[in-house]
Chains A and B, each alone.
Chain A
């Protein structure tokens, strides 16, 4: 296995994008990064600049205003960059499916690597999702 990829799975710096969510998932993400859950054990850190990011945590139903901005942010992130859809809105549009303002789900816009459903997902669910993502990367490059 490529040592750089192995290093990537051991040190994931996450950048948090709120693409029109109701703020519940955002609060749970912040909760997930508090000392109680201690994600730094796995090398996961929240970074301020998207240029440092290895994974994008995207919350919310994608509305007309936020989609172009989100695409721009994804282009600004250095590759390889993972995308996690956090919350059922980002996974499948949830109750905004028929909204005039929401066009298509996240995986039609960006390549999504892991789906973390829930309204909002618990911090435990997010950690489980990240663990599954890491295992998926390791399996794919064995």
Chain B
């Protein structure tokens, strides 16, 4: 019962979706202000989802059953990650040993679900998008895991999210140290890629491969995919706050840190052009991995 409540209502689905859709509005509003225009009203993302629920769902000829199942798999896996990350702040004794590793695995499920759905739609442009998404996951997972290892070493080997937060509350945020700062920069790039934001949105390039992985989706499955994006927009920044900025976890500071991370992501998104997929891989396996590996070495040295 308690588990169902935390999965579906409070740190889980409902809460994460509402916060994520509001964060999506912050994204669109900040983008609009950068363009020097007004931007949409706060309920725009909710309206979009509601509208998609009322539209026809089209299944392309020859598509496999996974075309319709994949979006739900992605959302279910991601909501579990959101619930685990959210309860690290709210319920200090709710974690279990190794939940950081579980969260890292769960965070890749939406990407894999998108790949499965796009490949089973039998659209050539969706296939191009899916193959790019696959390369993107290969590119950013390595530095992301390295940054995570640096954090775990800094937290005296704690594999539990709420212990990592507790250690920071006692000894100061990890970002205040050299290794933590380097790992944080690497993790910001990985967050950008995981969210599919512009320099790293080659998989969904709208002008180039017409929304790529999403091209065949309409109606309800498209709404589920947009909700997945929204929940990811809640989960990733909160996960980074837990890893790097865990010093003060009062509600006000949490919101401020969350909005700060969000605005950083939106600013990167609006000031950079889209990279090609080979440039993305070179970027992540080159400079970002070196940065993350350097942070691991510094963390071992105790800096």
Interface residues of A (CB under 8 A from B): 2-5, 7-8, 10-11, 35-36, 38, 40-41, 43, 47-49, 51-52, 54, 76, 78-80
Binds A, one of B45-53, B137-145, B156-164: B45-53
Contact A35 B44 (CB under 8 A): no
Interface range on chain B (Cβ under 8 Å from partner): 20 to 34
* Residues 22-60 of chain B, each 1 if its beta carbon lies under 8 Å from chain A, else 0: 000000100010011111110010011011011111100
Contact B211 A49 (CB under 8 A): yes
Closest 8 CB pairs of A and B: A4-B54, A38-B37, A7-B50, A48-B210, A78-B56, A48-B206, A7-B51, A35-B35
Contact A8 B28 (CB under 8 A): no
| Interface presence of B190 (CB below 8 A) | no
Contact B38 A41 (CB under 8 A): yes
- Cα separation A54 to B217 with both chains bound (whole Å): 13
- Cα separation A11 to B37 with both chains bound (whole Å): 18
Minimum distance in angstroms from A42 CB to a CB of chain B = 8
Contacting residues, chain A, for B108 (C-beta < 8 A): none
| Interface presence of B272 (CB below 8 A) | no
- From B32, B211, B217, contact of A38 by CB (8 A): B32
Contact B56 A48 (CB under 8 A): no
* Residues 48-82 of chain B, each 1 if its beta carbon lies under 8 Å from chain A, else 0: 10110111111000000000000000000000000
- From B55, B211, B216, contact of A47 by CB (8 A): B211
| Interface presence of B207 (CB below 8 A) | yes
Given contacts A11-B51, A51-B217, 16 further A-B contacts (CB under 8 A): A4-B50, A11-B47, A35-B35, A36-B37, A41-B38, A43-B48, A49-B211, A51-B216, A52-B214, A52-B218, A52-B222, A78-B56, A78-B58, A78-B219, A80-B55, A80-B56
Contact B47 A38 (CB under 8 A): no
| Interface presence of B146 (CB below 8 A) | no
Contact B210 A4 (CB under 8 A): no
Contact B51 A4 (CB under 8 A): yes
Contacting residues, chain A, for B37 (C-beta < 8 A): 35-36, 38, 40-41
Contact B47 A35 (CB under 8 A): no
Minimum distance in angstroms from A39 CB to a CB of chain B = 9
Residues 198-214 of B contacting A (Cβ, < 8 Å): 206-207, 210-211, 214
Contact A49 B47 (CB under 8 A): no
Known interface pairs A49-B214, A78-B55; A43-B44 also in contact (CB < 8 Å):
yes
Contacting residues, chain A, for B38 (C-beta < 8 A): 38, 41
- Cα separation A36 to B57 with both chains bound (whole Å): 34
- From B32, B47, B214, B217, contact of A40 by CB (8 A): B32
- Cα separation A80 to B54 with both chains bound (whole Å): 9
Contacting residues, chain B, for A5 (C-beta < 8 A): 54
